[in-house]
């Protein structure tokens, strides 16, 4: 039975990217050596790293003056790296969920944090004022847990820093609006283990405290992500995914597909008598669609989970902090998989109604 992979991350990747990685594990670039065992200093792998950087710049149309780096440790390590590199005294954070909250917790170790938040995480706060005396303003563009998303690149008078772990490459981004964009790669890009950062070079070098070498963006920029051994396999797979995005027509074409997939599922959630969405309509994520059973059908939650699972729908259990269901519709998920979920929801409704 075909499995439809709705996991929130690590998540579905293009089959082509996985197939090419398998081939490279057998024999990398004709070297006769496995990708798992190739030196990162070999000219063949140095070329892969350079291609990762250039495909990022091409696909996201990154302006001059920015560097792209690949490091280990995950976005959670970036929560500390951002203030280590950028905070002199004070920063502002938009708190839109668990990941923002974790980023804020780390930032508080380095200075004052102005926290902007709504009454809960079911929507994105609007019309807030960002203090003008902060070193930067941090946002999390997509909330994988609650299913909200900031899909506009807004103007900001202070340096804007964005965690785009779960929506990078899902849409065109106006990188010029940001001072720093970072993210774990394990959603739209690569297997877990590599983290990217897109850094506007002029924001660095302004803090007075010392920065551990590995936590200093400059270290990795100066050494082109080869200061220490990079996560070779995830970087290779990322390049394959980026090539796939290019073949698909780039991020603008990908965005259209993503909107179509999300629309199909949200329409069903809104139509189906059993289910309802959990967040404000205008802030709905096109990556992570969260929904619950209406109160009168709550008792059927486990049953729907099993019903879906029996149809090969994998990974739709909601995060423990929200409950219900979450379907993650990352770039590589096909419309057919969303249709399979919608059909299951319809059949379940017929059974219960």
| CA–CA gap between residue 49 and residue 203 (Å, rounded) | 24
Q: How far is the CB of 132 from a copy of itself (least distance, A)?
A: 28
Half-sphere exposure (Cβ direction) of 174: Cα atoms closer than 13 Å = 9
List the one residue from 46, 156, 248, 314 that touches a copy of itself (CB under 8 A).
Answer: 314
DSSP letter, residue 284: B
Residue pair 351/14 in contact by the 8 Å Cβ criterion: no
Site membership for a copy of itself, residue 186 (CB under 8 A): yes
With contacts defined by CB under 8 A, name the span among 60-68, 98-106, 130-138, 248-256 that binds a copy of itself. Answer: 98-106
List the one residue from 97, 183, 191, 318 that touches a copy of itself (CB under 8 A).
Answer: 191
Query: H or E segment at 92?
Result: strand 90-95
The first and second tokens of residue 15, run together, are 């089959």
Site membership for a copy of itself, residue 31 (CB under 8 A): yes
Q: How far is the CB of 148 from a copy of itself (least distance, A)?
A: 21
Q: How far is the CB of 241 from a copy of itself (least distance, A)?
A: 10
The first and second tokens of residue 173, run together, are 């981004």
Site membership for a copy of itself, residue 309 (CB under 8 A): no
By DSSP bridging, strand 288-293 and strand 195-200 are: unpaired
The first and second tokens of residue 164, run together, are 């785009």
Interacting positions 39-78 with a copy of itself (CB under 8 A): 39-40, 42, 71-77
The first and second tokens of residue 194, run together, are 């590599």
List the one residue from 156, 203, 227, 339 that touches a copy of itself (CB under 8 A).
Answer: 227
Burial class (CB in 10 A: 0-12, 13-18, 19+), 247: exposed
With contacts defined by CB under 8 A, name the span among 57-65, 132-140, 168-176, 310-318 that binds a copy of itself. Answer: 310-318
Residue pair 94/117 in contact by the 8 Å Cβ criterion: yes
Task: Name the active-site residue from 135, 167, 187, 317.
Answer: 187
Interacting positions 149-168 with a copy of itself (CB under 8 A): none
Site membership for a copy of itself, residue 13 (CB under 8 A): yes
Task: Name the active-site residue from 2, 26, 90, 99.
Answer: 99
Residue 235 backbone dihedrals phi, psi, to 5 degrees: -65, -40
Nearest residue (CB) to a copy of itself, 15 versus 176: 15
Which residue's entry shows tokens 């967040």?
A: 279
Site membership for a copy of itself, residue 193 (CB under 8 A): yes
List the one residue from 67, 166, 237, 285 that touches a copy of itself (CB under 8 A).
Answer: 237
Is 163 labeled as catalytic in the residue annotation? yes
Which residue's entry shows tokens 């940001």?
A: 178
The first and second tokens of residue 201, run together, are 């070079």
List the one residue from 97, 147, 184, 277 that touches a copy of itself (CB under 8 A).
Answer: 184
Length in residues, the chain: 353
List the one residue from 47, 109, 260, 335 that touches a copy of itself (CB under 8 A).
Answer: 109
Is 99 labeled as catalytic in the residue annotation? yes
The string of DSSP codes covering 161-228 is EEE-TTTTTSS---GGG-SEEEEESTTTTSSTT-EEEEEEGGGSS---S---GGG-HHHHHHTTT-SS
Residue pair 181/172 in contact by the 8 Å Cβ criterion: no
Nearest residue (CB) to a copy of itself, 124 versus 316: 316
List the one residue from 114, 192, 226, 264 that touches a copy of itself (CB under 8 A).
Answer: 192
Site membership for a copy of itself, residue 210 (CB under 8 A): yes
Task: Name the active-site residue from 163, 167, 244, 317.
Answer: 163
DSSP letter, residue 253: H
Strands (E), 172-314: 180-184, 195-200, 275-277, 288-293, 313-314
List the one residue from 3, 89, 157, 256 that touches a copy of itself (CB under 8 A).
Answer: 3
Residues ≥6 apart with Cβ < 8 Å to 153 = 173, 174, 177, 178
Which residues contribute to the site for a copy of itself (CB under 8 A)?
A: 1-3, 5, 7-13, 17-18, 21-22, 25-26, 31-40, 42, 71-77, 79-80, 84, 102, 105-106, 109, 184, 186, 190-194, 210, 212-215, 227-234, 237, 312, 314-315
- Which residues are catalytic, by number? 99, 163, 187
């Amino acid at each position: 039975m075909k499995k439809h992979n709705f996991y929130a991350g690590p998540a579905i990747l293009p089959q082509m990217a996985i197939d090419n990685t398998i081939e490279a594990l057998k024999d990398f670039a004709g070297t006769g050596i496995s990708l798992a065992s190739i030196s990162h200093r070999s000219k063949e792998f140095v070329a892969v790293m350079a291609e990762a950087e250039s495909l990022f710049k091409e696909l996201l149309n990154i302006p001059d003056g920015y560097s792209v780096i690949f490091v280990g440790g995950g976005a959670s390590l970036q929560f500390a790296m951002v203030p280590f590199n950028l905070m002199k005294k004070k920063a502002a954070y938009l708190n839109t969920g668990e990941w923002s909250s974790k980023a804020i917790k780390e930032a508080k170790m380095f200075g004052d944090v102005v926290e902007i938040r709504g009454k809960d995480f079911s929507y994105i706060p609007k019309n807030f004022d960002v203090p003008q005396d902060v070193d930067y303003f941090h946002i999390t563009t997509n909330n994988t847990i609650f299913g909200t998303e900031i899909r506009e690149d807004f103007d900001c008078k202070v340096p804007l820093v964005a965690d785009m772990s779960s929506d990078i490459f899902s849409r065109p981004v106006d990188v010029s609006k940001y001072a720093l964009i970072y993210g774990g790669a394990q959603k739209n890009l690569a297997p877990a283990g590599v983290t990217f950062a897109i850094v506007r070079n002029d924001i660095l070098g302004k803090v007075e405290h010392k920065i551990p070498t590995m936590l200093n963006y400059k270290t990795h920029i100066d050494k082109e992500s080869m200061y220490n051994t990079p996560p070779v396999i995830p970087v290779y797979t990322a390049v394959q995914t980026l090539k796939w995005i290019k073949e698909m027509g780039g991020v603008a074409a990908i965005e259209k597909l993503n909107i179509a997939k999300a629309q199909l599922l949200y329409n069903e959630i809104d139509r189906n008598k059993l289910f309802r969405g959990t967040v404000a309509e205008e802030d709905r994520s096109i990556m992570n669609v969260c929904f619950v059973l209406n109160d009168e059908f709550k008792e059927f939650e486990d049953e729907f989970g099993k019903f879906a699972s029996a149809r090969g729908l994998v990974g739709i259990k909601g995060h423990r902090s929200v409950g219900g269901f979450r379907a993650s519709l990352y770039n590589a998920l096909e419309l057919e998989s969303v249709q399979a979920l919608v059909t299951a929801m319809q059949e379940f409704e017929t059974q219960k109604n």
